[in-house]
Structure 1
C-alpha cells in the first residue's frame, strides 16, 4: 500500500465511482505519495500543525496508472524513494482513509491505525 496526504474537503469532493486528482498532477505530472516509513517527511515539512488532513491508503494495483518509485525533492534527503502516481487515483483504489491529526506540538505522526501493522 502507498499513502497520500490530502484534506478532508479534497476527499469529500470525490464522488462515488469518481477519481481523486491533486494539483501536482497538472503541475508536475504525478500525484505525490509516500509509504509507511516516509510519510512523516513530507507531512512535517509541508503540513505540520494542520488539523484538516487525511491519509489515503491506496492499493497501487487498483490505480490503473503507472506508479513509479522515484527520488524525492528537497527538503527530502537524497536517496529516499517515494511512489509517484502518474494519473488520477480512482476512489475504489483507496482501500482505507485515516484521520491524520497533529500532536500537541504540531508534529504529524503515523496514525495508530497504520502504525500497528
Structure 2
C-alpha cells in the first residue's frame, strides 16, 4: 500500500525489446523475473543505480521508465527485498498510461545513472 512515507514515482528498467513491446501493446506484462515472481519489480529513485549495476551489467539499449504509482492504488506494494530495503512491486500489468516519462539509460561523468525527467 502506498503511504506518505513512500515516493509516488518508481522506476522500471527495460530492455529495448521490452520497451518496444510496451509501446506497441500499450502495456508491459513483465520481464521473465517479474512473471516468475508474480509482480513487476521496480525501484525507488535511490535504488535504480544498484538495480542497474546488479541486474543489467554489461547490457546495452536499456530504457528507464518513470512510473506514477498513484494510479495503481493497492496494486503497488512496498516489500522487503535486496538488503532488507523496501522496493515497490506492481501486482498487475504496467500500462503505458502509468508511465510519466522515459529515457535511454545514460550515466553522467561520475557514472551515476540519469533518471528521466
Q: Identify the TM-score tier after normalising by the shorter chain.
A: 0.7 to 0.9
Residue 101 of structure 2 corresponds to residue 92 of structure 1: no
Which segments of 5 or more consecutive residues in structure 2 lack a partner in the other structure? 1-8
The corresponding residue for 1:48 is 57
Which one has a larger percent helix, Structure 1 or Structure 2?
2
TM-score for the superposition, normalised by structure 1: 0.78
The offset of 1:62, in angstroms, is 2.4
**Distance in 1 separating the partners of 2:43 and 2:16:** 18
* Distance in 1 separating the partners of 2:115 and 2:64: 12
* Distance apart, 1:17 and its partner CA: 6.8
2:20 pairs with 1:8 = no
Q: Which runs of 5+ in 1 are unaligned?
A: none
TM-score by length of 2: 0.78
State the superposition RMSD in angstroms. 2.5
Question: What is the Cα deviation at residue 14 of structure 1?
Answer: 2.4
